[in-house]
Amino acid sequence: MSTKIAVVGSNMVDLITYTDRMPNEGETLEAPSFAMGFGGKGANQAVAAAKLGADVMMVTKVGDDMFGPNTKKNLADNGIDTKYVETVPGVPSGVAPIFVEPNGSNSILIVKGANAHLKPADIDRVADDLKQCAIIVMQLEISVETIYHVLNFGKTHGIDVLLNPAPAQADLDMREVCKATFLVPNESELQILSGMPVTTIEEAEAAAKSLVDKGVQQVIVTLGENGVLLVETGRALHIDCPKVEAKDTTGAGDAFIGCFVSTYVRSRDLVASLEDAARYASDSITRLGTQSSYATAEQFEQFKATLG
């Protein structure tokens, strides 16, 4: 059985400002530090999975600016198959200005740039390789028509599709979204998708169940420091995560998904994969940056050994 993972998704260059507080309207504020790094939800998830030893292929588009070649090189340096990383002439790469506050919380703006140019026809061109994959992973930083196309492709060819509905988008066609095998929202994304309140774990369970009733096989709700909730037909399971001191939570959800798919395609053990993913995401927030905060397989084993 194939263990190959395809990420059909975004890449961004993260422009990260570490600030003591967010400025008020009209205010100029000095911030202590700045860092630039590779990001984008798709690329982050691909890099996390590859760092853990998974066989990953990325389908994405970069701009023809100075970020494009560096982004492609970064993916390749992390062991990702970049055959389908294309450059879009005359278009800038995706960028994400990010603000991180002292408690590690983040605020993110995204400018899709070349990511918006990944179209259904691009998927058809790589269909033969996608059919060889165990799972296709997507987020919402590319066009929705492409996302719906891949969800239908997965259904037609019997390939699992994981959709991370981030960043949240209110006008999605739920009949299409519910074709996902795994839907992995956080609490606010789940609230928007289900139209139900999600302020407690019980409410998250009810909201996730409403999506399972509409056809999603598994809803996996990431709950930040409260761990993760799996809801599928006949079962709801809450999994805790290790408590750590957060330095930068940016990309923790992506770390979770990268680790989850990496473990799942090899073990097919859903609960063990979720437990590993919760630990991997916790570990990632103890370091600064997005991809730069993701552990290798060896570093992750060392972290797990400290948990006892």
Catalytic residues: 254
For residue 44, state whether it binds ligand RIB (rule: CB under 6 A). Answer: yes
- Spatial contact of 290 and 44, defined as CB atoms under 8 Å apart: yes
For residue 40, state whether it binds ligand RIB (rule: CB under 6 A). Answer: yes
* Residues between 4 and 33 with contacts to ligand RIB, criterion CB under 6 A: 12, 14
Which one of residues 8, 110, 118, 198 is an interface residue with ligand RIB (CB under 6 A)? 110
For residue 115, state whether it binds ligand RIB (rule: CB under 6 A). Answer: no
Q: How far is the CB of 294 from ligand RIB (least distance, A)?
A: 11
Comparing CA positions, the residue from 134, 103, 118, 112 lying closest to residue 5 is 134
| Residue at shortest CB range from ligand RIB | 39
- Spatial contact of 74 and 44, defined as CB atoms under 8 Å apart: no
Specify burial of residue 15 (Cβ count, 10 A radius: 0-12, 13-18, 19+): middle
| Interface size with ligand RIB, residues (CB under 6 A) | 15
CB atoms within 10 A of CB 248: 24
For residue 231, state whether it binds ligand RIB (rule: CB under 6 A). Answer: no
Q: Whose Cβ is closer to ligand RIB: residue 93's or residue 290's? A: 290
For residue 289, state whether it binds ligand RIB (rule: CB under 6 A). Answer: no
Cα(128)–Cα(155) distance, rounded to whole angstroms?
15
The residue type at 286: T
For residue 140, state whether it binds ligand RIB (rule: CB under 6 A). Answer: no
184 three-class SS: coil
* DSSP β-bridge partners for residue 61: 86
Dig out the tokens for 154 from the structure: 């997965």
Contact positions vs ligand RIB (CB under 6 A)? 12, 14, 39-41, 44, 96, 108, 110, 141, 250-251, 253-254, 290
